[in-house]
Amino acid sequence: MHAVEDYSAWRLTYNEFDASRQQYGIVGDAVSAHVDDPDRLVVYHRANDVEALRAFVDSKELKEEMQAAGVIGEPDIRFIEIVEFANY
């Protein structure tokens, strides 16, 4: 989770970083915005290997891209595992 200065500007930079995410083993993503604050985001990256995901999070490239994209403050990064998922 993190806040951004401007979602539209952030999104352009995020999209440009797609190839780099894939090089780190990211196989999917989802972006959600808080209902009352569209510049407060929850970004989910899916990887098949948690160590690859950790390397991505720790990478200099990600830190530089986040700064360039207008991320405000320190992101709240957590590693989670899907236990169950259901479609209705």
Each of the 88 residues of the chain gets a pLDDT tens digit; together they read 999 999 999 999 999 999 999 999 999 999 999 999 999 999 999 999 999 999 999 999 999 999 999 999 999 999 998 899 899 9
Residue that is written with structure tokens 């709240």 in the block = 76
Tell me the pTM: 0.86
- What is the set of domains in the chain, with CATH numbers? 2-72 (3.30.70.100)
Q: Which amino acid is at 13?
A: T
Q: Indicate left, alpha or beta for 68 from its phi (over 0: left) and psi (-120 to 50: alpha).
A: alpha
